[in-house]
């Protein structure tokens, strides 16, 4: 619900995604948003009225700085700008868009006397230009073509129509995240993603890859906590056949397989100290040595690492190399937990409705206000992943086209606070046992640097049982 207590109208439940890695299908399918920039009020008014007749969502800005402010705060599919404006002109605005909003097409409006400048703008990256006095039909044709190319380019950039579509939101923290990805993505710099389990670190890593010139190469993910300790070096750096290793064939490691692309090291804190030393060398020298190999192999790989623990504290405790920490910490990006961006929850709900309707062949259209209020009241300890899993279950089990509060038993019957009046003895024991179990698992995971194998051994349960409990309690990323 909005802050004033009114239920959200259906139009509010609209998924919005980042542009840099390609908008989700939900975003692309919605009304195209166009920003008109011109210092003449009459031109802005005429253009806006004309384009709105074609169903576009049109916003206007009176000059370059005003346009920049709108582009930093909102998402658009196209910019139509006058070339000659006082202060920041169309060329300067074009340069800003090319740097900060890659993939966003710009159409320039120019007088006959400045056609040469407009042609130069196209060479620099503008989509096209129209001359004053412009023909409205011609302008509409150019705009339609630009939007068509923008949509096709966005889809190709991800390699799939919905890749990265779960980075949804318009809260300030998410807008800051989108802008940071746009700035950092094109560079080869190492990035360290931090945040609680379930906040979407793997999706941000993919967005960074898709925003770079490596997007056509591989983006490989290594779940460090899922690799047996004895196989770490062979998995990352490869293995040579021969009597030393006992292998019948040589096998390249993930670094070699990701050559020219991106390597995402999820839960990098789970790496043993011996492997951390080899990773440090690989990052510094851009070379890897296969296990049992006699020569180094050069690799060109961008590394993105992720963790949900305090790596600095792990360094102080001797569980993580300090020199490796500083090497990974070049560009730190912290992902906000869902409880700190509750205003994005309706957008996420709508996005997941579309996703799972398509995947499961269902036709659930809406979440009623009471159910949405219950979702907003939930603390979401498992963050976006917890919401995603719940939405998949709700869509799969839905009988009609609406999800109601009665369909949310887990949220409706959330465990009350300790000492709550009215609990019978069995319920009291169940509630507190679950809390104690979660706290104990978290404690052991932290002590074992989130190495699932060692934590399971310390807890006296199987690895599979621990993974199941971690998933239930929202304690780790299980993709």
CATH number at residue 373: 1.10.8.60
Q: Which residues lie across from 82 on neighbouring strands?
A: 109
Give the CATH number for residue 102: 3.40.50.2300
pLDDT in tens, 5-38: 333 333 222 233 333 333 333 334 457 889 999 9
Sign of CA dihedral 393, 398, 404, 408: negative
Distance in angstroms (rounded) separating the CA atoms of residues 103 and 210: 12
**Coil/strand/helix, residue 426:** helix
Within this chain, do residues 109 and 182 fall inside the same structural domain, yes or no?
no
Per the structure, the complete domain to which residue 4 belongs is given by 1-14+340-414
> pTM for the whole thing?
0.54
pLDDT in tens, 368-402: 888 888 888 888 888 998 898 899 999 998 888 89
Which tokens in the block code for residue 117?
A: 């400048």
Q: Say how many domains are in the chain.
A: 4
**Average pLDDT value for residue range 278-291:** 89
Distance in angstroms (rounded) separating the CA atoms of residues 120 and 126: 9
Instruction: Please tell me the predicted confidence (pLDDT) of residue 149.
Output: 65
Domain boundary pick from 414, 441, 463: 414
Question: Is 19 domain-assigned?
Answer: no
Within this chain, do residues 309 and 220 fall inside the same structural domain, yes or no?
yes
How far are the Cα atoms of 253, 279, 342 from residue 190, in angstroms, in the given order? 19, 13, 30
Ranges 19-23, 100-104, 171-175, 245-249: which has the least confidence:
19-23
Element (H, E) at 266: strand 262-266
Question: Is 449 domain-assigned?
Answer: yes
Most confident of 240-249, 261-270, 370-379: 261-270
Distance in angstroms (rounded) separating the CA atoms of residues 250 and 272: 23
Question: Is 165 domain-assigned?
Answer: no
Within this chain, do residues 146 and 32 fall inside the same structural domain, yes or no?
yes
Domain boundary pick from 309, 335, 361: 335
Distance in angstroms (rounded) separating the CA atoms of residues 79 and 71: 9
CA 311 to chain centre: 22
Sign of CA dihedral 379, 385, 388, 393: negative
Question: Is 330 domain-assigned?
Answer: yes
Question: Is 133 domain-assigned?
Answer: yes
- The string over 317-337, giving b where at least 16 C-beta atoms fall within 10 Å of a residue's C-beta and e elsewhere, is eebbbeebbebbeebebebbb
Residue, of 166 and 240, whose pLDDT is higher: 240
Question: Is 103 domain-assigned?
Answer: yes
pLDDT in tens, 90-103: 999 998 988 888 77
Please identify which residue in the block is written with the tokens 């169940």. Answer: 430
Within this chain, do residues 234 and 189 fall inside the same structural domain, yes or no?
yes
Element (H, E) at 191: strand 191-194
Question: Is 162 domain-assigned?
Answer: no
Question: Is 186 domain-assigned?
Answer: yes
């Amino acid at each position: 619900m909005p802050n004033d207590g009114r239920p959200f109208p259906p139009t509010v439940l609209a998924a919005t995604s980042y542009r840099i890695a390609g908008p989700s299908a939900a975003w692309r399918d919605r009304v195209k948003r166009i920003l008109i920039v011109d210092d003449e009020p009459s031109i802005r008014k005429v253009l806006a009225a004309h384009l709105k007749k074609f169903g576009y969502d049109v916003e206007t800005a009176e000059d370059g700085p005003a346009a920049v402010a709108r582009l930093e705060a909102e998402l658009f599919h196209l910019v139509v700008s006058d070339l000659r404006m006082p202060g920041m002109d169309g060329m300067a605005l074009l340069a800003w868009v090319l740097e900060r909003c890659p993939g966003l097409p710009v159409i320039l409006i120019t007088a006959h006397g400045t056609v040469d400048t407009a042609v130069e703008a196209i060479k620099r990256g503008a989509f096209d230009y129209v001359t004053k006095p412009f023909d409205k039909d011609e302008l509409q044709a150019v705009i339609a073509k630009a939007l068509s190319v923008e949509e096709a380019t966005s889809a190709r950039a991800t390699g799939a129509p919905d890749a990265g579509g779960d980075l949804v939101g318009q809260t300030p923290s998410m807008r800051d995240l989108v802008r940071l990805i746009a700035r950092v993505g094109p560079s080869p710099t190492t990035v360290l993603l931090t945040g609680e389990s379930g906040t979407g670190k793997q999706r941000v890593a993919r967005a960074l890859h898709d925003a770079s010139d490596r997007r056509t190469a591989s983006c490989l993910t290594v779940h460090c906590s899922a690799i047996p300790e004895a196989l770490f070096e062979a998995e990352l750096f490869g293995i040579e056949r021969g009597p030393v290793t006992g292998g019948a064939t040589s096998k390249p490691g993930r670094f070699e397989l990701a050559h020219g692309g991106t390597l995402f090291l999820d839960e990098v804190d789970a790496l043993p100290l011996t492997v951390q030393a080899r990773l440090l060398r690989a990052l510094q020298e851009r070379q890897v040595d296969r296990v049992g190999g006699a020569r180094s192999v050069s690799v060109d790989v961008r590394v993105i690492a992720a963790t949900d623990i305090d790596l600095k504290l792990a360094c102080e405790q001797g569980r993580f190399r300090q020199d490796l920490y500083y090497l990974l910490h070049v560009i730190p990006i912290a992902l906000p937990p869902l409880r700190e961006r509750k205003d994005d929850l309706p957008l996420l709900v709508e996005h997941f409705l579309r996703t799972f309707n398509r995947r499961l062949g269902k036709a659930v259209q809406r979440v009623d206000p009471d159910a949405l209020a219950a979702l907003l009241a939930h603390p979401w300890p498992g963050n976006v992943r917890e919401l995603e899993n719940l939405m998949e279950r709700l869509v799969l089990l839905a009988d009609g086209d609406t999800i109601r509060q009665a369909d949310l038993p887990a949220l409706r019957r959330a465990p009350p606070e300790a000492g709550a009046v009215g609990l019978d003895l069995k319920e009291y024991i169940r509630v507190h046992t679950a809390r104690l179990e979660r706290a104990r698992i978290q404690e052991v995971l932290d002590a074992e640097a989130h190495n699932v194998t060692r934590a399971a051994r310390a807890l006296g349960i199987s690895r599979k049982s621990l993974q199941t409990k971690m998933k239930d309690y929202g304690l780790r990323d299980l993709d």
